[in-house]
Structure 1
Amino acid sequence: MTNDTTDTTRTESTDQPTTATVRAALRAHAHEVGTRGPTADFPPGSLPDALDDASIVALGEGTHGTREFFRLKHRLLRWLVTEVGVRTFAMEANAPEARLLDEYVTHGRGDPKAGLEGLYFWTWQTEAVLSLVEWLRTFNEGRPLADRVRFRGFDAQYTQGAVDALREHFGDGLPPTVANDLELVADDGTRPMQDDRVGERIDAAERVTPCVRELDDTDERVLRWLRTIEQATTYKQRLLDWQSGADDSDAERAAMEAVIRVRDRAMAENVAWIEGRTDGPVVLWAHDAHANRDRHSVRGSGAAAASMGSHLADRYGDDYYTVGFAFAGGSFQAIDRTGAGRGLRSFTLNEPLPGTVERVLDDTGVGTAMVDLRAGAVDSRLGDWLLRPRERFSLGATYDGEPDGYLTAYRFAEAFDALCFVPETTRARPLG
């Protein structure tokens, strides 16, 4: 899950007015897809041809709490599964914990709601995501195993799922000291900042991973579970380094950039591992901050480092295709940072902010559409405009009700291959 992943820096943005020519060009490259639900077909010619050829398609989101984003991503996934032959779907969720949902969609075992709860984040515990999971199960039922869509995770923030998997694998075969250290490594999905024993867990992880590797260094599953522990432990350590404070703003920014760097690099590594063991394309579900090809910026800190998408674009080139998601106005859910509490609730953005990409797209009069940015980048009317930094509204898990503080500048021709635009949104519906 992305937390506070927008950058308020505005110095890079251009002050040049948007011309009628630019608006007309955007309208020409914006292919309306309609507002029907995830089962609807796409109008002929509305999806870029490059979607058919990509090895990895990343479906982003401008917020973690927008129902229309989730339903449109579901619709795109259905098309990629049924028309392109995608058989692997991976979410911004802890990799070992995703095993429960893979068991459900592949074999029908388990409870999908419990599987979503097991990913720890409220962001995925919504009716729209559950509907997607249930559709995957329906699609898979009765198909040969090799023709079923698999459910994967590619994040590595927590150790609990990896520890559970290792215990299940080894049973009573672990030496007592190793078993005790694994017990300590298990974090129960607790965020490092709320974990009083995080330092002890880091030390235990550094002791236990080489010991377990000596017990079994041939089983690929064991090696991946250990890798998750290593990745999560490094992430926790960088968070502690940042939390411990810095003498000046430059040092604090550098510490936050280290946090971004290790997590996004780990996610890219895990995606590449998944792709290398997949026959056919892979579809990813992540926040725009991770999925974009350029950088992951952190709101209010000035910190920025290479995003997951940047690493994947370096590795796969044009075979990595990333779709951003933006909206003009409407509701979304987020954790409240207004001071009234930190509970999950609905917020509303009444209209797009002046000077943003959303404002320009809204002014074109386009409906729900996919804007082909690859095609736009080589259009003489639009290419230069897309290469200049343009602000957009975006947030991760939290929001304080002040939209001006949630603007991120992207060079859209470099950051995304396409942009899904939704004029009006509603809050994602939490599971009851």
Structure 2
Amino acid sequence: MTDSNQSVPFTGDALTALLPPGIRLLGLGEPTHGVEAFLDLRNELFRHLAEHEGYRSIAIESDCLAAVHADAYVTGGAGTLDDAMSRGFSHGLGESDANRELLRWMRAHNEERPPHERLRFYGADGPLEITGPAAPRPALTAPHDYLAAHLDLPWSRETLDDLLGPDERWTSPAALMDPSQSIGRGPEARELRLIADDLRALLAGHAPHLTAATSADAWWHADLHARTAAELLRYHAGMADPTPARLGALMCLRDVMMAGNLDAIVRREARRGPTLVFAHNRHLQRDESRWQFAGQSLRWWSAGAIAGTHLGDRYAFAAMTFGSRGSDVPRPGTLEGFLSASPHDRAVIDPGRLAAGLDRELTLRVPADHTYFSLDPETIGQVDAIVFVRDI
């Protein structure tokens, strides 16, 4: 059984006590999506971090461009909470009560604070839905229009529109499993990738003038769109890959996109405070991510692993896992079965003390319905804290 040195009731203080000093990015991972208990726990932790640990931002596994609408709401912009929920999330996350409560609380928290102390909301993911990537038009035209207001550009909006064509060409559901249905490697897509690269170079090269003429925030949002356009076009090219490596490459490209977003967020927030990022454990873990899918063994490095390479000990990772979900009860020899002996319904576990106190080897839990990934006992040494929820 886990003793008091290994397992304590979940609180923000209990979790942060296990983290190294100087954190700039804290990853809180969940083992599966769609469980409000995990999001409620995330909200509780973020409130603690904002009120007691100096955190000023949160990023979640949602579209980085859509999140601009949610951030505008929480920082005091016009519009309703309903509008922020419908426009500010991807993957159906706008339907979550816990996400609604997060935005409501963040706006209330910000109302009596000056701009430099207000909490910000970010999306860590790209514009990627389950059915496939979005069309690149919004991501590409936003930085073009921003630059065109201040510089003479070699391309017009009409040129971009001609190259882009109808959005339906980019978003065909058939391309998800059939690379021949993707236009991501056609001549127009190749030309657009060059333009996206040049837009980012122009934004960087003229940053002093552009930020003075507009604002640092306006420049940041233009760069966000330009970065997303380049990465989205790269993902579309991956969709058109006819080789067996296609699926693994797409997993890698998605996490590279997420890592780029996290890097930009950390740099933007450098003078304000650390950031909490909430996503699936597979996107935040330090060890190599693995997935058996469609008869293939996929392996890639997560956004957290990539960010951790850059940040070193300024990145920390807390992994969540759970015990029972209905009839799915973990076996005694698994990590989750072992943790279920904890006296706490929600617990924080020190992985180092847990490993030192084990008197037997634990096995990997095999999910009953394959909708989640269990925590691998062999990798807990690369986790700074484990958060365990007994029942979901």
Q: CA RMSD of the aligned region, Å?
A: 3.3
CA distance, structure 1, for counterparts of residue 292 and residue 93 of structure 2: 19
Aligned-pair CA distance for 1:211: 3.5
**CA 1:212–1:421 in 2, change beyond 3 Å: closer, same or farther?**
closer
**CA 1:149–1:176 in 2, change beyond 3 Å: closer, same or farther?**
same
Partner of 1:200: 183
1:32-80 CA-to-partner distances (Å, cap 9, x unmatched) read: 12xxxxxxxx386564252764111111111101111110010001111
Q: 2:142 aligns with which of 145, 152, 165?
A: 165
Give 3-state SS (helix, strand or coil) of 2:265's partner.
helix
Summarize the alignment of residues 221-300 of structure 1 with structure 2, pairs less than 5 Å apart: 221-241=221-241, 244=242, 252=244, 254-278=245-269, 279=271, 280-300=273-293
Letter in structure 1 aligned against 2:92: W
Aligned-pair CA distance for 1:129: 1.0
Give 3-state SS (helix, strand or coil) of 1:391's partner.
coil
Summarize the alignment of residues 322-341 of structure 1 with structure 2, pairs less than 5 Å apart: 322-330=317-325
Partner of 2:349: 371
Aligned-pair CA distance for 1:354: 4.9
Is structure 2 residue 378 aligned with structure 1 residue 411? yes
Output the TM-score relative to the length of structure 2.
Answer: 0.79
CA distance, structure 2, for counterparts of residue 207 and residue 368 of structure 1: 52
Q: 2:364 aligns with which of 391, 396, 407?
A: 391
Give 3-state SS (helix, strand or coil) of 1:108's partner.
coil
**CA 1:404–1:70 in 2, change beyond 3 Å: closer, same or farther?**
closer
Output the TM-score relative to the length of structure 1.
Answer: 0.72
Contact 2:185-2:236 within 8 A present in 1 as well: yes
Partner of 1:115: 84
**CA 1:116–1:193 in 2, change beyond 3 Å: closer, same or farther?**
farther
Aligned-pair CA distance for 1:196: 10
**CA 1:161–1:187 in 2, change beyond 3 Å: closer, same or farther?**
farther
Contact 2:65-2:225 within 8 A present in 1 as well: yes
Aligned-pair CA distance for 1:134: 1.0
> Structure 1: where are the runs of 5+ without partners?
1-22, 34-41, 247-251, 331-347, 395-400, 426-432
Aligned-pair CA distance for 1:201: 5.5
**CA 1:390–1:304 in 2, change beyond 3 Å: closer, same or farther?**
farther
CA distance, structure 1, for counterparts of residue 385 and residue 267 of structure 2: 25
% identity of equivalent residues: 24
CA distance, structure 1, for counterparts of residue 36 and residue 307 of structure 2: 27
* More off after superposition, 316-325 vs 161-170: 161-170
> Structure 2: where are the runs of 5+ without partners?
129-133, 208-218
Aligned-pair CA distance for 1:325: 1.2
1:131-185 CA-to-partner distances (Å, cap 9, x unmatched) read: 1111111111131111111111122233354246347646899342123334546
Give 3-state SS (helix, strand or coil) of 1:86's partner.
coil
Aligned-pair CA distance for 1:86: 0.8
CA distance, structure 2, for counterparts of residue 168 and residue 130 of structure 1: 32
CA distance, structure 2, for counterparts of residue 315 and residue 239 of structure 1: 28
Size of the aligned set, in residue pairs, is 357
Aligned-pair CA distance for 1:265: 1.8
Aligned-pair CA distance for 1:236: 2.8
Aligned-pair CA distance for 1:270: 1.7
CA distance, structure 2, for counterparts of residue 288 and residue 69 of structure 1: 12
CA distance, structure 1, for counterparts of residue 357 and residue 184 of structure 2: 55
Partner of 1:12: none
Q: 1:178 aligns with which of 157, 160, 165?
A: 160
Give 3-state SS (helix, strand or coil) of 1:96's partner.
coil
1:81-105 CA-to-partner distances (Å, cap 9, x unmatched) read: 1111111211112222211011101
**CA 1:101–1:360 in 2, change beyond 3 Å: closer, same or farther?**
same
